[in-house]
Each structure stands twice: as structure tokens, then as C-alpha cells.
Amino acid sequence: MVETKIDFLYLNEEDMIKAGVTGMEKCVDCMEEMFKILGRGDYKMAGQNGDSHGAMVTFPADPPFPNMPQDGPDRRFMAMPAYLGGKFDIAGMKWYGSNAENRHKGLPRSILMVMLNDKDTGAPLALMSANLLSAYRTGAVPGVGAKYLAPKNSKVLGVIGPGVMSKTSLEAFVYACPTLEAIKIKGRGQASIDSFIEFARRYPQFREISVVDTMEEACKDADIVTIGTSSTMGMENYPFLEEKWLKPGMLLSAPAYVRLDDDFLARRARKVLENYGLYECWANDYAYPSFSAVGIIGVRYFDLLRDKLIRREDIISLSDVISGAAPAREFEGQIVVNSVGGMPVEDLAWGKTIWQNALRLGLGVSLNLWDSPAMV
């Protein structure tokens, strides 16, 4: 008899924590392995080029139907499917709804789930709470970037926007750059600043934690600057960093919207991103200038490419730096801009790791899809 019964594991947030989802060191190592697999091309995401971030549902400003949602900040639904090979060898998808108004209900802006599937049959293997999974893989990716792109013996970290994204990035930087010893924080709200300071004090290596009034002060003398501010769409709304604020040879880690001078970006900065195809897909999907619709700085690279201000070879995928195919810098003192946009293969890599931990630890609830399908 052929076995047709399908069960899958459900993991709530508490299960995910027990299974190690907040283990940043292991998450950074996991993301580094993911990038090595990415560099070999053993993966597929959505879209014709196999590199799409995913499919998104947005809403009109003036809905034609009374029950249809109205457009608003971060109001969308998103499906991010992928396959990742190598040691992970897993298919699946991250799915979420997002609405900035959730904060008035005591909820996160986005509520995320990850489904893992058998790559051959498509059968579900696990359904898991993914807010922490996504937050930690988002922070781990800048950590991998810092390991390969930050100046050696980095001492000072500048934080612009001390929210959740900057907290998980901080955890990753601590692991990737153990010589860090000072933090300068620029925030907009006292509550987020205080929360970040409390979080940073977990790490005794930081002998100095200071709050500054301007982005310029946060950047001054910093070896690494991470930007985690929230912004509305449109280039004019993105925070702007001047080249003269940035220390020669420093790393700008950009998992959130930021604007830089085009001449600096085109002619002097080292332009690194997670995956060339991901940003190429964004550039093809949105009308020029794509950066106005997708504020991740790597999308601006492609606007500059379209304007013939840079060449294809000026845009470097992080996996090429990891493999040694490309240097971190072209010359001493070059500032590196590392763009972080997020990919579903990152969710699958960390998701499978946590699922395997949960199986070993006996966590979660087994749910039955069917003993045998009603229709075949």
C-alpha cells in the first residue's frame, strides 16, 4: 500500500523560541551558508527570472467597493515562494499581511507565517509563526555583510532608526565584528531610543552608548552605520546621508530606505547587494525611476545603470565577495554600501533549521491534512 497520509507540524511563536529562532550566531552562520548556495545558483524564487521578491496585493486609495481595504502605509498582502537547494533542499513560502495601523491594536505592523513543503510532492511539512524568524534572518544578513565588508577592527557603530530591525542587526554585528565598543544612536522617539539602549546593554563590550541629535553625528567617525528608519514611498521622503559625513573605508548597511548623492554612489562607493537578479527584477517590475517605488538603495543602482552612469560590473552580489570572486573594496578607503532587501530563500534556510530543531526537541503540534485524499 502507498502511504497517502499527510501530517505537518504547527509551530507557534513560543515553540519557535524554544527551537532557537532567536539564536543570532547560528542564524548568521545559516545565512552565510545560504549565500554560498545562492552564489552557485542552486535556488529558485518567483518570476520569469526566478529571482522575484514575491507577489504583492495592494489596494486603491479610493476603493470602489465598501468592504475593500483602502490604501495606507504598509497596507498589503505578500506571498514570497522559493526553493533553496544545497544542504537545505526545501521549498516553501513566507506569507504575510501588513498594515501600519496595527500598532493601534497592539500588534506588529506585519504578521508573518512560513510554510515548508516537500519539494517533490508539494505536501506541507511545517507551518510556523514567522515574525521572529523574519526579524532574525533580516538582522543576520547585515551581519554576514559586516563579516566580509566592514573595516577590520571596527570600533564604532552608528544606528539611525533604533527599531526592531536595528536590534537584530546589532546582535549580528556583535557576532561578526567583536571589536565594536561604542554605539551612537539617532532616533525619532524616546521610547524606541530607550528600548534600544536597554537592548544594547546586554552586550558588555559596548563601553560607550550615546544618543545624538542628528544623522550627521551618528555617522561621524563610525566604522559601520546601519539605517533602520521607516519612510513613506517617494525618493524625496527617504532620509539623506551626505558623503562628507561618512568615514573613509566605512560600511553603510542599508536594510531600510536611504538616499545618497548619485555622483558619490556612481563614482566612489562600492555597490554591494544580496543578489543581482532580485534587484534586476524590481527594476523591471516598476517604472523608472524604480527607486521611487522601492526605496531599497540597491534599486537605485539599477536606475544609475539605466542612466549609463555605472556599468553592470560595478554592482556586486555579496555571494561573490564571500566566494572570493570579487573584492570587498576596489581601493583602500572606499566606502561600501550594502543593500539589504530580503529574499524568501533566507526565510526557508532559517525556517528549515528551526523546524529540524523542533522535531529533535519534540516541539509543536502535529496536524493532519488527510489520511487519504478525497479526490485524486
Q: Which of 1-5, 168-172, 279-283 has the lowest mean pLDDT?
A: 1-5
Tell me how crowded residue 308 is: count the other CB atoms within 10 A of its CB.
7
Q: Where are the alpha helices (DSSP H) in the chain?
A: 13-18, 24-40, 131-149, 164-176, 190-200, 215-219, 262-267, 276-285, 297-306, 318-323, 344-361
User: Which residues have a Cβ under 8 Å from the Cβ of 13 and sit 6 or more positions away?
Assistant: 129, 131, 132
What number of residues does the chain have? 376
Q: Could you tell me which of 75, 25, 43 has the C-alpha nearest to residue 233?
A: 75
pLDDT of residue 22: 97
CA distance 340 to 256: 8
pLDDT at 230 over 80: no
β-strand 90-98 against 76-84: which pairing, if any?
antiparallel
pLDDT at 234 over 90: no
Q: Could you tell me which of 81, 90, 84, 80 has the C-alpha nearest to residue 118?
A: 90
pLDDT of residue 249: 98
Asked if the peptide bond before residue 108 counts as cis, ω within 30 degrees of 0, the response is: no
For the segment 107-128, the average pLDDT, to the nearest whole number, is 97
pLDDT of residue 229: 84
For the segment 201-230, the average pLDDT, to the nearest whole number, is 95
User: CA geometry: angle at 49 spanning 45 and 52, to 5°?
Assistant: 45
Q: Residue 30 has which C-alpha cell?
A: 545559516
Beta bridge partners, 339, equal 254, 273
CA distance 218 to 61: 37
For the segment 67-71, the average pLDDT, to the nearest whole number, is 96
Q: pTM of the predicted model, to two decimals?
A: 0.94
pLDDT in tens, 184-194: 999 999 999 99
Phi-psi region of 345 (alpha: psi -120 to 50; beta: other; left: phi over 0): alpha
Given a contact cutoff of 8 angstroms between Cβ atoms, the answer to whether 16 and 354 are in contact is yes
CA distance 39 to 31: 12
CA distance 234 to 257: 10
For the segment 80-109, the average pLDDT, to the nearest whole number, is 96
pLDDT of residue 70: 96
pLDDT of residue 1: 66
Confidence band of 2 (pLDDT split at 50, 70, 90):
confident
Residue ranges and CATH numbers for the domains of the chain are 6-134+345-370 (3.30.1780.10), 140-344 (3.40.50.720)
Mean pLDDT score of the chain, rounded to an integer? 96
